[in-house]
Structure 1
């Protein structure tokens, strides 16, 4: 059964997040609030955890898992970014945006798209999420917590705990999140392509 960690959304208790990070290190899945909706995260280099993420969501291996990074510099370690892409990323991070970029060799194959060798990547604007990434010591694999065969993400930690308590190692309750997932923008072509509209004002990025 999952552990439930109740943390302050603006000043999360690091002691509790370190406990959650230990569960990730042991191969567990953890539900965490973000600036878009709740997400389920796992350790980056854990194949079994990546498979468990996909099973929980009912996803196949063609679906991008997203890397949650601490900052723009960390994005450059896992994705190839040219000057034009960098300017857009600098405007957009941190924030509720997921960018599809060409993956570097640092990204495990199970995380990148199997045929395109691309990766979804973002820097969330949420103190709890960023503190968990810091406690884990590296970016985390993630997927928006949208129940299988449903359209809307979950944003209530107690409901997540009741529905997924047997499939997760922990649920971090940092308060309610928005009910929209991130906006997904594909930057692998000459012109940015909006793959999914969600949180965030596209006009702020010059893409409306």
Structure 2
């Protein structure tokens, strides 16, 4: 049975975020609001949790998982970033963007793309998400909480608990958030490529779709 943690959307209670972090530490999956839509997250160094995350979403190993980071400095530890990429990241973060970057050796091979050795990385702008990252003390792997076989992300914490109560360790309820996934930008080529338009407007970064 998943824990149900009701937190304030702007000033989340630290004791409840600590409970969610303890759930992650114990190998559980946590559903949480972000500045795009609800996501499901697990510890980066927990193989069993990563496998459970993929099963919950019905994803194969070629689907990019996203690394949730606290800030740009943390991104630089897990992805190779040149000066031009850094300027774009600085302009976009925190926010509803996912960037595909070349992974460093700090990223487990089971998490990065098997052939491209790339990883999706983002710095979320939601206080609850950032608060959980702070309590976890490390980046988390995540993916948008879209039910297997469907196209729209879930946005209601009660519905998420009812649907996944035996697959999740905890659900963080901070009220509804956006019903849009992140905008995904591939930075591994010569020029940035918009792979998916979501909650972030590419034109704000000077990009065209």
Look up the SS of the partner of 1:52 in the other structure. helix
Partner in structure 2 of residue 77 of structure 1? 77
Q: CA RMSD in A?
A: 0.5
Partner in structure 2 of residue 131 of structure 1? 131
The answer as to 2:10 corresponding to 1:13 is: no
* Aligned counterparts of 1:152 and 1:191: Cα–Cα separation in 2: 29
Gaps in structure 1 of 5+ consecutive residues: none
* Aligned counterparts of 2:110 and 2:25: Cα–Cα separation in 1: 18
Partner in structure 1 of residue 170 of structure 2? 170
Post-superposition offset of 1:201: 1.4
Partner in structure 2 of residue 88 of structure 1? 88
| 4+ residue runs over 4 A deviation | none
Look up the SS of the partner of 2:54 in the other structure. helix
Equivalenced residue count is 208
Post-superposition offset of 1:63: 0.6
* Aligned counterparts of 1:60 and 1:81: Cα–Cα separation in 2: 26
* Aligned counterparts of 2:172 and 2:182: Cα–Cα separation in 1: 19
Partner in structure 2 of residue 118 of structure 1? 118
* Aligned counterparts of 2:100 and 2:200: Cα–Cα separation in 1: 16
Partner in structure 1 of residue 191 of structure 2? 191
**1:22-60 deviation digits (Å, cap 9, x = unpaired):** 010010000000000000000110000010000000000
Is the Cα contact below 8 Å between 2:183 and 2:201 reproduced in 1? no
Post-superposition offset of 1:203: 1.1
Post-superposition offset of 1:140: 0.3
Partner in structure 2 of residue 56 of structure 1? 56
Look up the SS of the partner of 1:130 in the other structure. helix
* Aligned counterparts of 1:167 and 1:106: Cα–Cα separation in 2: 28
**1:148-178 deviation digits (Å, cap 9, x = unpaired):** 0000001111110110111000000011011
Partner in structure 1 of residue 4 of structure 2? 4
